[in-house]
């Protein structure tokens, strides 16, 4: 009795090659996109960083790490508070007292907190450090907005690479 399904080993080998080529091409493009988005994130954080608080705006940096598993891109700063915690955490999380706890309770999709009584009072007195706090939290709203766009771009890159290599091909 003849088998109902006979694997086409030559076709499977060609498919494997096509998938490997498409995957390599997609990963190269994805790596470039991640680097570019890392720089965009750094640029936006620097622009949104409060002035009058030392060198926060200029301290943001992009760290790219390539391993055999892929590429990772991180954006951060080396600045630390007096207790050793990363300084942006203070701006990111605030305290239960800042803005009545609205910064601590911030959730993705909500607008950043841009006003609270102490800030308004400082602005009237022209106290530069507090009045220069444009928004809190600083990192998460920018990060969530960028993450959505990065995911969309990576999906397009991956889909295009596989479509280009596999559409119309016979294996």
pLDDT tier at 138, thresholds 50, 70, 90: confident
Q: Above 50 in pLDDT, residue 131?
A: no
Top-confidence residue, 133 or 93: 93
110-121 burial code (b ≥16 CB/10 A, e <16): eebbeebeebee
Q: Is the pTM of this model over 0.85?
A: no
Top-confidence residue, 150 or 82: 150
Among residues 51, 48, 52, 74, the alpha carbon closest in space to that of 61 is found at: 74
């Amino acid at each position: 009795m003849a088998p109902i399904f006979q694997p086409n080993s030559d076709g499977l080998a060609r498919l494997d090659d096509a998938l490997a080529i498409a995957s390599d091409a997609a990963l190269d493009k994805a790596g470039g996109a991640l680097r570019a988005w890392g720089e965009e994130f750094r640029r936006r954080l620097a622009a949104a960083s409060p002035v009058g608080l030392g060198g926060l705006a200029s301290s943001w940096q992009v760290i790219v790490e390539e391993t055999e598993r892929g590429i990772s891109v991180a954006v951060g700063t080396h600045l630390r508070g007096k207790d050793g915690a990363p300084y942006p955490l203070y701006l990111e999380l605030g305290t239960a007292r800042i803005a009545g706890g609205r910064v601590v309770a911030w959730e993705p999709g909500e607008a950043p907190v841009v006003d609270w009584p102490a800030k308004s009072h400082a602005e009237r007195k022209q106290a530069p450090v507090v009045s220069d706090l444009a928004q809190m939290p600083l990192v998460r709203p920018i990060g969530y907005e960028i993450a959505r766009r990065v995911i969309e771009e990576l999906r397009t890159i991956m889909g295009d690479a596989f479509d280009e290599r596999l559409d119309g091909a016979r294996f």
